[in-house]
Structure 1
Amino acid sequence: MGTDRLSILFVASEVEGLIKSGGLADVAKALPQALDSMGQDVRVTLPGYRKIKALQDADIVLETQLEHWPHTPYRVRQLAVGEVKVYAIECDQYFAREEMYSEYNQAYADNGERFAFFSAACLDMLPKLNFQPDIIHANDWHTGFVPYLLKHRYAEHPYFARTRSVISIHNAVFKGVFSYEELPNLAEMQGHYAPDAAVSPTHITMLKAGVMTADKINAVSPTYADELKTELGSHGMAKEFRAREHDLVGILNGCDYSDWNPATDGFIPTQYHAELSSMQAGKLACKRELQKRVKLPESEAAVFGMVCRLTNQKGVHYLLPILERFLKLDAQLVIVGTGDPILATQLAEIAAHHSDKFAFVEAYSNELAHLVEAGSDFFLMPSEFEPCGLNQIYSMAYGTLPIVRAVGGLKDSVVDYDSDPDNATGFAFIHPEPIELLSVMQRALLFYLQQRDEMTKVQLFAMQKQFCWKRAADEYLALYRSALS
């Protein structure tokens, strides 16, 4: 591996520390920071949403307009996340709104146009800022037109002669499907012909545009990379991912433990670390506090925790059919989350009938999420699909054994006790069936009741697992170098 320094532009629709709605933002903060600490020249760009608090005071480093039709005026403001430079692309007609993507559960009608503009401006600004990246790293559908425009619009442009592109797939469910009419600001779409992006005679998807034109494609775990080549795992793009399989690589995300570490966590009543008496005392104090907070009886019963968006993706529909049966057992369940109102209503009704064993908190609460991670014995993640997932990694750090469906990043990060007791960090089931979930929850409960010493050993082993960003960043650098060669 050469040690030569690479210039990298990381393009994302959200960045933790500035604005966030999901896991993509965590990666957009942590990966550039890891690359920066390894001596790479990495810079990040995102839309200059009005919602970003730091935006108003940030320096304007460029005031210009697109060189290409329709010559939209825009400004670039320079911010920072840690040591990393961030370029926010400001254009009031697209980004001076209350939210990033939607309001009142309705996506903005011009999202295609907004992110097409953002993709065009990302490339347009580079010669003007005199930043010449070796690698442009796009993420998810919002930035799918970045590799596309690099390949088509800038194919002959000398400034970009050496620039290569990578696109990361964090969640292929969201594809950015738009009609040609919805992209009035992209000259390339005006002929109603874009084979690299088209999904029908009238519509394109921005994710396909990126996947078919990027030099390399990456999925956020090795198993997810394999799943993208299947009909079920790709949500309808298996053909495209198979066509590019030689350029498709899975890299498991790292984890930023700065917020999720039981030894320094300010949200929990007692901090603890990976040593027997510390862990046992700490987890017990956190369990008591959790039971008190959600009004469950103080007891020695095993506590199963779950913090998630209430969606079928997170496997709530596997849990609901077996919930009443599970609640007959000697265990407690705490679920914290918001999302689908129908799922929320069903959970609330069951919780009302079993208030001695099941607490459902319909809220997004960071503080409560930390308490659930620390005070539970098991953490449920029975996801239908999970490209990478972070909560299973946080759970291990807190000595809380994850119960997962063996898909995507969950399969790559959690070792099932029955399959490999010596290296186990949790429990896993395979088939997407409610009865399979019930069976693995019963397995975990028996383990808690009958093999407490063994369980303690597994908890301490799980706490010592490290999913660090340095390892992931090394793999990304290797991917970048393969794109350049």
Structure 2
Amino acid sequence: MNIVFAISEVEELVKTGGLADVGKALPLALQKMGHDVTIVMPCYQELSATQKLQTVGTEQTLFAEGQVYHYTIRQLTWRGINVYLVDYPDYFDRDGLYSSAYNAFEDNGERFSFFSGAVLQVLQAVELHPDIIHCHDWHAAMLPFLLRHERSGYFSQTRTVFTIHNAAFQGVHRLDSIPFLRHHPAILSQVHGGYINMLQSGITFADKITTVSPNYALELLTDLGSHGLHERLVTRQQDLIGILNGCDYSQWNPATDTQLTVNYDTDTLHKKTDCKAHLQTSNGLTEDSKTPVIGMVCRLTEQKGFGYLVPILDALMQHNLQMVIVGTGDPKVCMDLGEYAQQHPRQFAFINGFSNSHAHQVEAGADFFLMPSQFEPCGLNQMYSLAYGTVPIVRGVGGLKDTVIDYQHQDRATGFVFDDPTPEALLNCIRRALLFYHEHPQQFKAMQLRGMHTRFTWKDAATHYGALYSALIAQESFNQDNVTSA
């Protein structure tokens, strides 16, 4: 199949979060299966500065409500995949993809609506006829709307798949701030109170809708889990499917990880204690192989469960444990964690920032990895933790529920899971994990090994996506044949 990814970031090219991980891994997995894959994304300042780009064809022009957009198509070949870049400096030649520091660009609605329209023009300019355009998150959510209203022409055989990576980010903007869309004759059907919800438009007009784990797909059908979009999603329930993201084990493998002081695998799990000692000493903690270490690497936001964790830190510090938390984000959370690090310097370490080295060292050196998320569409750190023999402690939401099996299922258990969104439930779960660690060391080791043998691969994810694409194309062909016969 001929598949186009319309996406706002791709790891190794430009990245702000987990969307880029999918933008890298899924196209590569589909390509390996024999599909023709193309990526279209904005030409950000960072890309222009770090990549050798070629110019494709002549200057392109889009018109909207008296405004003229002159832009250039850039191109690079990345890992054997053609990447086309929409180079419109007024929108994308900025220090940041979506924001400057923590302040979102006020014209994001206009920027990415224009990007969606430009994708369609780019594909025509390079004479590419895709079977599938796979659109990702709100940044490309207007593309199915635009394509639906142009289907009689160039894209009559093209179908759209829209993936929701995180329903909390919906791209809600005033229509009067988006000249690119204001002129469209059908846009008023998408406007409510003067605002347009781009994620909702993607849900409405895409041929199929996917999200990043089966359990998150179920949560999206609820008011709380969908952040208010459940009614629209329920109407499209038959077209919604959850496909679990994979893990890049070439980067996350304790046997080959160059960020570690000592490498280990399932046959040499005892060497993990050397990684633990390094994590303790490098962060000022007391070196003690028998003291359990709980690690956490994430953005410091309410979503990640700090509303559950911070209230119980006093109680946790009464136990024989150590904690290492790495991340940046909410200034209030940073301040709270910094105070605990000052008060308990030999027991609690907080690194205000992020580095790949810190992330890998925590995964390898900790005994437990904590993810008490309010919501977690898929999550990757629990997959990394399992691969490193670091037992996850998670809340049973989204992809965490799909990937971590609670210790009560003894023969299959890979971690500890709690459900209630309260500090007390988190505290009880951590205490269960600590008790298991101290009283059942052999069973704890068996749990570690079980996790290390668990695999969530992008090959599996790509197989599911390939089947979805094929079914969508075959269904459309069948419908057209029926129309022709009639």
Please, what TM-score do these two structures have when normalized by structure 1? 0.95
Which residue of 157, 163, 170 corresponds with 2:165? 170
Alpha-carbon offset, residue 457 of structure 1:
0.8
Q: Within 5 Å, give how 1:231-242 maps onto structure 2.
A: 231-242=223-234
Is the CA contact (8 Å cut-off) linking 1:48 and 1:55 kept in structure 2? no
Amino acid at match of 2:443: E
Alignment partner, residue 3 of structure 1: none
| 2:475 aligned with 1:480 | no
CA contact 2:30–2:462 (8 Å) conserved in 1: yes
Partner residue, 2:29: 34
Instruction: Note the C-alpha offset of 1:104.
Output: 2.7
- Aligned partner of 1:194 in structure 2 is 188
1:464 maps to 2:453: yes
Q: Write the letter of the residue equivalent to 1:416.
A: D
Conserved? CA contact 2:62–2:118, under 8 Å? no
Cα distance between partner residues in 2 of 1:435 and 1:207: 34
Q: Confirm or deny: 8 A CA contact 2:383 2:403 kept in the other structure.
A: yes
Write out per-residue CA displacement over residues 418-448 of structure 1, whole angstroms, 9 at most, x where no aligned residue: 1x11111111000111000001101110111
SS in 1 for 2:284: coil
Write out aligned runs for 1:266-277 (5 A): 266-275=258-267
Contact 2:175 2:182 in 1 (8 A): no
Q: Indicate if the aligned counterparts of 1:192 and 1:202 stay in contact, CA closer than 8 A.
A: no
User: Which SS does the other structure have where 1:415 is aligned?
Assistant: coil
Aligned in 2, Cα 1:337/1:437: closer, same or farther, shift over 3 Å?
same
Equivalent in 177, 200, 208 of residue 208 of structure 1: 200
Cα shift readout 1:218-276 (whole Å, capped 9, x = no counterpart)? 0100000010110000011111111110000000001111111101111110001112x
Q: Residue 454 of structure 1 aligns with which residue?
A: 443
- Shift in Å, 1:483: 2.0
Query: Is 1:227–1:234's contact at 8 Å kept on the other side of the alignment?
Result: yes
Counterparts in 2 of 1:422 and 1:137: CA distance versus 1, 3 Å: same
Matched-pair contact (CA < 8 Å) for 2:19–2:165: yes
- CA distance in 1 between counterparts of 2:372 and 2:17 reads 19
The offset of 1:201, in angstroms, is 2.8
Q: Matched residues in 2 for 1:141 and 1:121: separation?
A: 15
Q: Conserved in 2, the CA contact under 8 Å of 1:144 and 1:167? A: yes
Q: Which amino acid aligns with 2:220?
A: L
User: Structure 1 residue 263 and structure 2 residue 255: aligned?
Assistant: yes
C-alpha separation in 2, matches of 1:133 and 1:260:
33
The whole-number CA distance in structure 1 between the counterparts of 2:401 and 2:77 is 35
CA contact (8 A) 2:388 2:452 kept: yes
Are 2:406 and 1:430 aligned? no
Superposed, which structure 2 residues align to 1:38-437 within 5 Å? 38-52=33-47, 57-69=52-64, 70-152=67-149, 154-157=150-153, 159-189=154-184, 193-195=187-189, 197-198=190-191, 200-275=192-267, 278-281=268-271, 283-299=272-288, 300-418=290-408, 420-437=409-426
The number of residue pairs the alignment matches comes to 471
Give structure 1 stretches of 5+ with no counterpart: 1-5
Checking the alignment, whether the CA contact within 8 Å between 2:181 and 2:187 is kept in structure 1 is no
Q: Distance in 2 between matches of 1:336 and 1:62?
A: 46
Q: What is the aligned-residue identity percentage?
A: 49
Aligned partners of 2:471 and 2:397: how far apart in 1? Answer: 27
Give the one of 8, 14, 24 matched to 2:19.
Answer: 24
Deviation readout 1:291-335 (Å, 9 max, x if unpaired): 011100111200000001000100011001111101101111111
Amino acid in structure 2 at the alignment position of 1:132:
H
What is the TM-score when the length of structure 2 is the normalising length? 0.95
The 2-side partners of 1:185 and 1:403 are apart by 46
In structure 2, give the amino acid aligned to 1:39: G
Cα RMSD, aligned residues only = 1.3
Question: Which secondary structure state, in structure 2, belongs to the residue aligned with residue 285 of structure 1?
Answer: helix
User: How far does residue 76 in structure 1 lie from its aligned partner after superposition?
Assistant: 1.3
Name the aligned partner's letter for residue 210 of structure 1: G
CA 121–270 in structure 1, closer or farther in 2 if over 3 Å, else same: same
Partner amino acid for 1:27? Answer: V
Match of 1:387, SS? coil
Question: Which ranges in structure 2 are unaligned for 5 or more consecutive residues?
Answer: 476-486
Partners of 1:289 and 1:56 lie apart in 2 by: 36
1:439-450 to structure 2, matched below 5 A, reads 439-450=428-439
